Amino acid sequence: MSTDHILELVDEEIARLKQVRQLIAGTTAAASSSDTKTAKPARKKRHLSAAARKRIADAQKLRWAKQKKAAQKG
């Protein structure tokens, strides 16, 4: 095998790998157009009420207090 032939084979392999990478990443025209048809719409952001936020905060404060108490004992 000549050096030119080896370089040609390496270039072909690099081109194939780049093509595979584009397909996986979804950057080719065919992949991106099919992805947009099946893509799910973005979810609406869910908001917590003030009462729910307070319950979560109180529960977390209790967990911290338990953790701090356990650390002082041990």
- Tens of pLDDT, residues 39-67: 788 888 889 999 999 999 999 999 999 99
Reported as a pLDDT band with limits 50, 70 and 90, residue 37 is: low
Report yes or no on 43 lying in a domain: no
Report yes or no on 17 lying in a domain: yes
Report yes or no on 12 lying in a domain: yes
Helix boundaries (H) for 26-49: 29-38
Report yes or no on 7 lying in a domain: yes
Buried b (16+ CB within 10 A) or exposed e, 59-74: eeeeeeeeeeeeeeee
What contacts 22, CB < 8 A, 6 or more positions away? 28, 31
The CA distance from 71 to 8, in Å, is 66
Give the number of domains in the chain.
Answer: 1
Average pLDDT value for the chain: 86
Could you tell me the residue range of the domain that residue 58 belongs to? 3-37+49-73
Report yes or no on 18 lying in a domain: yes
